[in-house]
Every structure is written in C-alpha cells, then in structure tokens.
Amino acid sequence: MLCPAKINLGLRVLYKRPDNYHEIESIFLKLNWGDDIEFIPNGLGKVRLFSKNELFGVKRLLFEEVSERGDFSKNILFKTFEKAKQIKNDLDGVDIHLTKRIPPGGGLGGGSTNAASLLTYLFGDFPELLVPMQKMASSIGADVPFFLRPAHAHVSGIGEILQSISLAPGIGILSIPPFSINTKESYFSLKKPLQSDWGQKSWSLLDEDLSFALQQGDWSKLREKFENDFERYAFSEFPELEALKQDLYIQGCSFASMTGTGSCVYGFVEGIEQASSIQKWMTQNYPKHYFIQFSF
C-alpha cells in the first residue's frame, strides 16, 4: 500500500506554547507519490523491519542510521509499535516491508505517514481503540493525525486540529535536494515568543476568495497569501533553494513553495506536458537534485 507524502500550502508559525510546542497553521495536501509499505503478522509480539532504501546522498545515510541495518530502536515505526502496546499489550507482532522514497529532512512527512499506516494496520479492526489511538498519534509525530485521515486538511494547533477542505485536483513538480534541513534549528531561527494563553485565539489562512481559488484550481491566486515562514531561514542557509523556487516560476509554474521546514520545493503546473517540460529543464540545470511529478 502507498504511504503518501504531503506538501504544505502555506505554513505559519504563530507562537511558542508553554509546553514547548509551536502553534501552526497550514493546509496539508496528500500526494499520489510516497513510500510503499506492507504488513505481515509474525506472531512474535515485536516489530521487525525489512527495508529497501531508494534514497540518495545524505538522505540515504540518514535513513540507514534508523533502518534495520542501523539502530532500529530510533525508527518511528519501532517507537509507534511500542506506544501501541500501551493501548493493546497483546499485539501479535508484525513484519514491515518498506520501500523508502520519502526523504528525511524534506518536509514531506515521511516518518509520520509510515507511523499512521502502522497504526491503521494495528487498530483498524478494533474500532473501540480508535479514539485512544488518535489521542496518542500526535505524541508520535505532529503530522501523524493528518495521515490517519483520508483527505486534504486545514491544519492548526500543533497539527492535531484538522478540518477537511474542498480542493480541485492538481499536478506538480517536486524537487528533492541532496541535503536536509534540521527541524529544531529551523524553529529556533523563528524566535517566536512564548504565549501563555495558547489555544484561545482563532486563526485562519483562508478567506472566501482563497477557498474559492482552491476549489477552482486557480493556483496563481495562492501567491498573494500562502507563505512558508521557514523559507527565510532555509534560503539563507541554502541560497540555491530560493533560486530553484524562482526558476520554477520562470519556467511557468503557477505557484511554488518550500514544504514544511524544508528542504523540498514544489511547483504547480497546468498539465502533464508542461510538467514534463519543466522537469526536463530543472533536471538539466539542477543536476544534484532529484525531480518527480505528482498529482493530488
């Protein structure tokens, strides 16, 4: 089965909470591209990983460090299974066969989508356990609650407040750079103030015009309001990402942005022919980056 990657349409970091989490607001889109994962019961009461690493460069090494060939106890799949035993202590155990394509440190939710798939496998046949599973999900990873849902969503809180949105289908180009960006350093760079009355304010990226633009697929309208707060730090550390984003626009993308805390950058296009043309140009001019086409 597919573990879909996600991208962010806009990402605002509003403030830091007393519990050291940050209040965010964004729109998360699920892609038709990601990891492949298969679950096979093993009757051993433990989780085992059998992985195929299709990443490259630094990202390949980062996954190897937490794969079964490294320290699997640091892998989000291992941590998810151990947390799941707190809800159902007689879990039979499972062998996980994973083809890893979503890079760590890319802003695509690669670990969270894997964790959500495992939770769905473990508790999908136990509806009485779905509520405690969902409560546990955000403690595993801020994006995990989103991946437990079938649809795109407006996301707020620390990632656990989700509202489905209506969105036209679209096509895009995704750049996967040969380097990663540290999430903690990205948040620290924002220097958001501590706010004691968190959870009491209402925020929204979406007004009526933007909601209509999303429903109609008028992606050029998104340039006016959808910004990623992490781009300033990422572009200062890696200027080629800013150049890449601008080149996506120059080549004809209707909207372009970095996703999450980076380092991946994407652009929306009008059709498959345009996507192939832009992908060819970007590959020639950014040979160290890997480019894929996606739809949502």
Q: Which domains does the chain have, with CATH numbers?
A: 2-162 (3.30.230.10), 166-295 (3.30.70.890)
Report the percentage of the chain scoring pLDDT > 90. Answer: 74
Instruction: Answer with the residue of higher pLDDT: 136 or 33.
Output: 33
User: pLDDT grade, residue 203 (50/70/90)?
Assistant: low
Instruction: Answer with the residue of higher pLDDT: 224 or 256.
Output: 256
| Residue 37 burial (CB count, 10 A) | 20
Q: What is the mean pLDDT of residues 137-147?
A: 93
Q: In this predicted model, what pLDDT tens digit does every residue of 235-294 receive, in sequence order?
A: 999 999 999 999 999 999 999 999 999 999 999 999 999 999 999 999 999 999 999 999
pLDDT of residue 196: 57
Q: What is the mean pLDDT of residues 67-90?
A: 96
Q: What is the mean pLDDT of residues 196-225?
A: 78
pLDDT of residue 72: 98
Q: In this predicted model, what pLDDT tens digit does every residue of 54-78 receive, in sequence order?
A: 999 889 999 999 999 999 999 999 9
Q: In this predicted model, what pLDDT tens digit does every residue of 145-171 receive, in sequence order?
A: 999 999 999 999 888 889 999 999 999
For residue 81, give every residue at least 6 positions away whose Cβ sits within 8 Å of its Cβ, in sequence order, or none. 46, 47, 91, 94, 118, 122
The whole-angstrom separation of Cα 215 and Cα 87 is 39
Q: Is residue 130 over pLDDT 70?
A: yes
The whole-angstrom separation of Cα 90 and Cα 146 is 27
pLDDT of residue 158: 84
* Catalytically annotated residue among 143, 229, 245, 247: 143
Helix axis angle, 76-87 to 130-140, nearest 10°: 150
Instruction: Answer with the residue of higher pLDDT: 207 or 198.
Output: 207
Q: Is residue 194 over pLDDT 70?
A: no
pLDDT of residue 184: 85
Q: Is residue 198 over pLDDT 60?
A: no
For residues 206 and 221, is the Cβ–Cβ distance under 8 A? no
6 is catalytic: yes
pLDDT of residue 201: 52
The whole-angstrom separation of Cα 38 and Cα 114 is 10
74 is catalytic: no
For residue 120, give every residue at least 6 positions away whose Cβ sits within 8 Å of its Cβ, in sequence order, or none. 148
pLDDT of residue 275: 97
For residues 46 and 20, is the Cβ–Cβ distance under 8 A? no
pLDDT of residue 195: 64
For residue 109, give every residue at least 6 positions away whose Cβ sits within 8 Å of its Cβ, in sequence order, or none. 5, 6, 28, 102, 143, 146, 147, 260
pLDDT of residue 133: 86
Position of tokens 């959808």? 226
Three-state SS string across the chain, please? Answer: CEEEEEEEEEEEEEEECCCCCEEEEEEEEEEEEEEEEEEEECCCCCEEEEEEECCCHHHHHHHHHHCCCCCHHHCHHHHHHHHHHHHCCCCCCEEEEEEECCCCCCCCCHHHHHHHHHHHHHHCCCHHHHHHHHHHHHHHCCCHHHHCCCCCEEEEECCCEEEECCCCCCEEEEEECCCCCCHHHHHHHHCCCECCCCCCCCCCCCCHHHHHHHHHCCHHHHHHCCCECCHHHHHHHCHHHHHHHHHHHHCCCCEEEECCCCCCEEEEECCHHHHHHHHHHHHHHCCCCEEEEEEC
Give bridge partners of residue 255 from the DSSP assignment: 268
